[in-house]
């Protein structure tokens, strides 16, 4: 635990991208103290990708970690099967265990892009939730009333609209709350949509004679289509996206989200962020500031060299109108496969002869890594390929 923690660092933890803290004064005192706090975040592997919306909480964990606190990262391999309804307007279906296991395969690798993973305590909540008996669950459930659950805005709306709310959904908050008991959390970080579950953790800890955790809720961020970033809507920027894809996706967000992304998705000093905000208000082209944002986000996950390459690619391929910003189909290619084979396997072309004619006419060319006409035997490389005047493919080597 560092003895040189400044009040400014603590205030940034409590304020940057934060919607609400419970209990703020208590947490401030504990952060000013010398004790090492156990800071918890749980993520259910309902998708194989962790996106920037979830990374907002992970970045907050990194802030705690850099002040010397212990990070507890819970992979919800049990709760992921059950399904959290906190942010859903309809019932979330249960997932099978095979899907959940497949989804979580790279979670630790993804999280290590943000946290010093060697210092993180990693837990799988199936190790305790799968062992609970009906009797234990009954005692836990007795802590809450049904009205507590149905008073939640999205649940109330579903009931009014006559939509089904399963008893399974009612039990989910108990599971997340029990996670806090099992890891003895001092602080739990989560999105504003998790408030009921986070508060349930405090009640559950009281029941088990533990000090109630402080709660730090971060704001939710919008995705590339302006709606809340969600894997189910496909509007995500994933932290495992290739640098060119990540840079391009950030460039597609609405201009009015630029400052919000700087605050929540980067650790660019707030003084600089406020300067960008001032420039935007004074009428600077938002694209110029968004280019800085895209570079900073890509650098965070891929490093300066890859971020620089992605910026150059964007300028070459998109800003110079050589390719559209969206609507590019991604093709997977095995190493040693020719461009002809890759394009033919896409199913986009009517016949082998049609594609061959386009090659003979010199109508197939790469935009990146450099502008060149492609021949039949050229081996496929990571690139954007233009066929004719309006057809574009992004080739990825797997």
CATH code, 185: 3.40.50.620
Question: Of the ranges 139-143, 155-159, 175-179, 315-319, which one carries the lowest mean pLDDT score?
Answer: 315-319
Is residue 234 included in any domain, yes or no? no
The answer to whether residues 299 and 389 belong to one domain is no
At 98-136, the pLDDT tens digits run 999 998 999 999 999 999 999 999 999 999 999 999 999
Residue 303 binned pLDDT confidence (cut-offs 50, 70, 90): very high
The answer to whether residues 339 and 288 belong to one domain is no
Choosing from 268, 293, 319, the residue where a domain stops is 319
Query: What number is the average pLDDT over the span 60-78?
Result: 96
d(CA 70, CA 38): 5
Q: 109-147 burial string, b = 16+ CB within 10 Å, else e? A: ebbeebbeeeebeebebbebbeeeeeeeeeebeeebeee
Is residue 77 included in any domain, yes or no? yes
The answer to whether residues 213 and 256 belong to one domain is no
Cα–Cα distances in Å, from 277 out to 20, 47, 69, 83, 286?
A: 23, 34, 32, 38, 10
| 388: Cα separation from own chain's centroid | 36
CATH number of domain containing 387: 3.10.290.10
The answer to whether residues 179 and 293 belong to one domain is no
Q: What is the pLDDT of residue 377?
A: 85
Q: What is the pLDDT of residue 369?
A: 61
More confident residue, 352 or 206: 206
More confident residue, 211 or 160: 211
The answer to whether residues 302 and 165 belong to one domain is no
Q: 12-40 burial string, b = 16+ CB within 10 Å, else e? A: bbeebbbeebbeeeebbebbeeeeebbbb
Q: What is the pLDDT of residue 3?
A: 57
More confident residue, 295 or 92: 295
Choosing from 276, 295, 319, the residue where a domain stops is 319
The answer to whether residues 186 and 270 belong to one domain is no
Decide the pairing of beta strands 372-373 and 364-368.
antiparallel
The answer to whether residues 57 and 97 belong to one domain is yes
Is residue 106 within 8 A of residue 240, CB to CB? The reply is: yes
Return the closest-CA partner of residue 341 out of 372, 384, 374. Answer: 374
Return the closest-CA partner of residue 380 out of 369, 391, 392. Answer: 369
Is residue 232 included in any domain, yes or no? no
Residue 321 binned pLDDT confidence (cut-offs 50, 70, 90): low
Q: What is the pLDDT of residue 396?
A: 83
The answer to whether residues 215 and 262 belong to one domain is no
Is residue 274 within 8 A of residue 258, CB to CB? The reply is: no
Question: Of the ranges 54-63, 174-183, 372-381, which one carries the lowest mean pLDDT score?
Answer: 372-381
Choosing from 287, 319, 351, the residue where a domain stops is 319
Query: What number is the average pLDDT over the span 383-397?
Result: 83
Is residue 238 included in any domain, yes or no? no
Range of the domain at 348: 329-397
Residue 322 binned pLDDT confidence (cut-offs 50, 70, 90): low
Q: What is the pLDDT of residue 89?
A: 65
Total domains in the chain come to 3
Q: What is the pLDDT of residue 166?
A: 83
Is residue 119 included in any domain, yes or no? yes
The answer to whether residues 31 and 177 belong to one domain is yes
Q: What is the pLDDT of residue 1?
A: 54
The answer to whether residues 66 and 15 belong to one domain is yes
Is residue 26 included in any domain, yes or no? yes
Query: What number is the average pLDDT over the span 330-348?
Result: 88
The answer to whether residues 173 and 112 belong to one domain is yes
Is residue 100 included in any domain, yes or no? yes
The answer to whether residues 278 and 340 belong to one domain is no
């Amino acid at each position: 635990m560092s003895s040189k923690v400044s009040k400014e660092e603590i205030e940034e933890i409590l304020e940057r991208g934060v919607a609400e803290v419970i209990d703020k004064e208590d947490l401030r005192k504990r952060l000013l103290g010398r004790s090492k706090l156990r800071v918890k975040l749980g993520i259910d592997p309902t998708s194989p990708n962790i996106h920037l919306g979830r990374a907002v909480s992970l970045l907050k964990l990194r802030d705690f970690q850099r002040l010397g606190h212990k990070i507890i990262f819970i992979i919800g391999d049990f709760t992921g099967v059950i399904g959290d309804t906190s942010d859903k307007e309809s019932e979330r279906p249960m997932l099978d265990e095979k899907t959940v296991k497949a989804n979580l395969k790279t979670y630790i690798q993804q999280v290590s892009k943000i946290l010093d993973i060697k210092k993180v305590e990693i837990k799988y909540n199936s190790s305790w939730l799968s062992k609970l008996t009906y009797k234990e669950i009954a005692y836990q459930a007795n802590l809450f009333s049904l009205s507590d659950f149905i008073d939640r805005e999205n649940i109330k709306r579903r009931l009014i609209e006559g939509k089904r709310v399963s008893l399974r959904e009612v039990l989910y908050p108990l599971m997340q709350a029990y996670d806090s008991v099992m890891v003895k959390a001092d602080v739990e970080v989560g999105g504003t949509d998790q408030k009921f579950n986070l508060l349930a953790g405090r009640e559950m800890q009281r029941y088990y004679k533990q000090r109630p955790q402080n709660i730090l809720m971060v704001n939710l961020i919008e995705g590339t289509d302006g709606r809340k970033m969600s894997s189910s809507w496909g509007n995500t920027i994933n932290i495992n996206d290739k640098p060119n894809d990540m840079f391009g996706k950030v460039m597609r967000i609405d201009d009015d989200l630029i400052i919000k992304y700087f605050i929540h998705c980067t650790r660019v000093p707030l003084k600089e962020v406020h300067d960008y905000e001032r420039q935007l208000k004074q009428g600077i082209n938002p694209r110029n500031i968004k280019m800085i944002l895209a570079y900073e986000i890509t650098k965070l996950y891929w490093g300066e060299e890859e971020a620089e390459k992605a910026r150059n690619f964007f300028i070459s391929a998109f800003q110079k109108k050589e390719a559209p910003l969206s609507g590019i189909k991604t093709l997977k290619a095995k190493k040693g496969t020719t461009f002809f084979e890759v394009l033919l396997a896409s199913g986009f072309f009517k016949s082998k002869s049609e594609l061959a004619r386009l090659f003979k006419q010199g109508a197939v060319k790469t935009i990146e890594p450099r502008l060149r006409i492609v021949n039949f035997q050229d081996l496929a490389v990571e690139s954007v390929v233009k066929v004719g005047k309006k057809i574009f493919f992004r080739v990825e080597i797997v």
